[in-house]
Amino acid sequence: MDNLIALLIAAPLLGAAVLLCGGRRLDKTGHWLGTLLAAVSFVIGLALFADMLGRSADDRAMHQHLFTWIPVEGFQADVAFQLDQLSMTFVLLISGVGTLIHVYSIGYMEHDERRRRFFGYLNLFVAAMLLLVLADNYLLLYFGWEGVGLASYLLIGFWQHKPSAATAAKKAFLVNRVGDIGLSIAIMLMFTTFGTFAFGPVLASAGETSEGKLTAIGLMLLLAACGKSAQVPLQSWLGDAMEGPTPVSALIHAATMVTAGVYLIVRSADIFNAAPDAQLVVTIVGAVTLLFGAIVGCAKDDIKKALAGSTMSQIGYMILAAGLGPIGYVFAIMHLVTHGFFKAGLFLGAGSVMHGMNDEVDMRKYGGLRKYMPVTFVTFGLGYLAIIGFPGLSGFFSKDKIIEAAFAKGGTEGWILGAVTLLGAAITAYYMTRVMLMTFFGEKRWQDDADGNPPHPHESPKSMVIPMVLLAVGSVAGGAVFEFTGFVEWLEPVTGYAHGHPPISAAAVTAATVAVMVIGVGLAYLQYGRRPVPVVAPRGSLLTRAARRDLLQDDFNHAVFVTGGTHLTRSLVYVDHSLVDGVVNGTAAGVGGLSGRLRKLQNGYVRSYAVSMFGGTAVLIAATLLMRAV
């Protein structure tokens, strides 16, 4: 059974290879092949899951060693896989949601002539992400990490003819690179500290290493997570990544790739547990991003960018939970899975709306769509209820647990984190309600598109609707299923679980959460439900304008890094040009000038040569006299 682990990755990888190298003859059938192989991966995952359930809780980790990658003494770099409960969760999420997105893309990308390549890239992504979560050492994880980065770049910039898409892809890659530096430094530090990369030895000996080294490793891992998961300060690429097709946004930038950072932190739990300072920084980053993303999401009129801000904020929740230590790891993963369901569902719904509205993304030009796209409305609505934490739906269970865990941290830290998470919940409710109201309710504010065609909103084809429905089911039921089938006990052997010191009871936290949600919904209703929504965005307050510009992150990056980098480059060019080249050219010019002057000595006149001889004689006599005198 263990030998099947490699097949999980091999299937989509094969699909990617065939589709990308196969050529135009596969254009008619390529998408079916891609979807099939993704489904194969999911089925194998289910089989492995069933097998894992049959074992006892301590025996659930499966290993498979494929081959030795770098056979160097003292450098343990193998291609080997580890499938434990944590990886299993991710495998099911990735292959499951991935397959649904493949099905959705069949319909969504029907009119695109490069659809075969799209499916090739999607398969590549699934393979790389599975490699990331199945690796049993950090070096192989890095391989998968880079692979998903590559797939993200290819997919964001899929519509290559659009300069904005190409730029967004580059931006995503560059910002991710900054995070990748963190991961490579962490791996190097691990090697010098532990002498190996494999999870087993590293995590087992984490308890005995000095705290300073572990803090450094932990901070570097956090940097990597910030890059991949779009946390502050490396979050600027996520909004621009919405340039890619909607299935890409759903799969990569909602459900799976952006959660890789959370996976990294939870996998390295033992390292963080032994370095409390790093953990504190993790929680701070999570808390800041939580609010940052929420505020940005409130001001965006582009439906996809609003959902991107929401993703940023929800991942902030997960990172915050991961930073809380053993009291939060399980809930971070739980929220990750439920978020995967409802966020993917919300994105697919947005794609469906865009599909019907001539690819218009500005919510100010929507309005009253619930009558025209009922199924979309229902699935989107269920996702909406899940994300705001409506009692009973999945988001309620997972988010509520995170808020409880935040309070349970204890001390002032606990109060602050708890307050922040509650505030975040309020703002989440506000902006999601805003999206719902602007899109599906109110008057029709539809505008003709650039060619003068009025929009004809209609329900999407079956290939798009079925995945949305399935994801909506997951959004509704997921939380309850996790809660009542013992998700905590499922994950506990891997991550550990602690209760913490809750200052207030769980019921009080739940009540507060619900109250806060109602306040948020109410405020949004007052603002957008009662009053007509203007088609042209009003100027807005200072905070609104700043939030529209992503809270000035891009401007900051430009002013500090781009301008600074340009100045540095210019000064280096100056040094190279005038100093280095100057030395070389100056030497050449000097030699040339010297030779030019020396050449005048040979002017052909006997008398000049006589002067030289006479002078030379004088020098010789002087030398002789001096020698005598000395």
Binder among 95, 615, 627, 630 for other proteins (CB under 8 A): 615
- Residue 617 interacts with other proteins (CB under 8 A): yes or no: yes
Nearest distance from C-beta of residue 581 to other proteins, angstroms: 29
Choice between 539 and 607, CB closer to other proteins: 607
**3-class SS of residue 83:** strand
Alpha helices in 80-198, H assignment, sequence order: 85-108, 115-134, 138-156, 163-194
Q: Are 281 and 220 in contact (CB under 8 A)?
A: no
Q: Are 352 and 361 in contact (CB under 8 A)?
A: no
Q: Using CA atoms of 199, 204, 205, 208 in order, give the dihedral in degrees to the nearest 10.
A: 140
* Binding span for other proteins by CB under 8 A among 192-200, 492-500, 507-515, 604-612: 604-612
Choice between 21 and 606, CB closer to other proteins: 606
- CA 96 to chain CA centroid, nearest Å: 19
Nearest distance from C-beta of residue 591 to other proteins, angstroms: 16
Which run of H or E residues covers position 573? helix 563-574
- Residue 605 interacts with other proteins (CB under 8 A): yes or no: yes
- Residue 592 interacts with other proteins (CB under 8 A): yes or no: no
Which run of H or E residues covers position 237? helix 236-240
* Binding span for other proteins by CB under 8 A among 82-90, 95-103, 472-480, 622-630: 622-630
Nearest distance from C-beta of residue 606 to other proteins, angstroms: 5
Lay out the site mask for other proteins across 504-523 (x = CB under 8 A, - = otherwise).
Answer: --------------------
* Binding span for other proteins by CB under 8 A among 79-87, 523-531, 565-573, 601-609: 601-609
Choice between 518 and 622, CB closer to other proteins: 622
Choice between 54 and 615, CB closer to other proteins: 615
- Residue 280 interacts with other proteins (CB under 8 A): yes or no: no
Alpha helices in 389-505, H assignment, sequence order: 394-408, 411-440, 462-485, 487-495
Residue 277 has which token pair?
Answer: 């300072």
**3-class SS of residue 144:** helix
Cα–Cα distance for residue pair 303/246, rounded to 1 Å? 11
* Binding span for other proteins by CB under 8 A among 195-203, 343-351, 422-430, 613-621: 613-621
Nearest distance from C-beta of residue 590 to other proteins, angstroms: 19
Q: Are 1 and 83 in contact (CB under 8 A)?
A: no
Nearest distance from C-beta of residue 586 to other proteins, angstroms: 24
Cα–Cα distance for residue pair 470/477, rounded to 1 Å? 11
Count, residues near other proteins per rule CB under 8 A: 19
Binder among 164, 505, 585, 608 for other proteins (CB under 8 A): 608
Binder among 58, 542, 599, 627 for other proteins (CB under 8 A): 599
Burial class from Cβ neighbours inside 10 Å (0-12, 13-18, 19+) for residue 86 reads buried
- Residue 627 interacts with other proteins (CB under 8 A): yes or no: no
- Residue 621 interacts with other proteins (CB under 8 A): yes or no: yes
- Residue 597 interacts with other proteins (CB under 8 A): yes or no: no
Lay out the site mask for other proteins across 547-586 (x = CB under 8 A, - = otherwise).
Answer: ----------------------------------------
Nearest distance from C-beta of residue 583 to other proteins, angstroms: 28
- Residue 629 interacts with other proteins (CB under 8 A): yes or no: yes
**C-alpha distance from residue 535 to each of 111, 115, 281, 446 (Å):** 30, 34, 42, 9
- Residue 604 interacts with other proteins (CB under 8 A): yes or no: yes
Closest CA to 252 of 311, 292, 175: 311
**3-class SS of residue 70:** strand
Which residues does residue 83 pair with via DSSP β-bridges, in sequence order? 62
Burial class from Cβ neighbours inside 10 Å (0-12, 13-18, 19+) for residue 167 reads middle
Residues of this chain that bind other proteins (CB under 8 A)? 599, 602-608, 610-611, 614-615, 617-618, 621-622, 625, 628-629
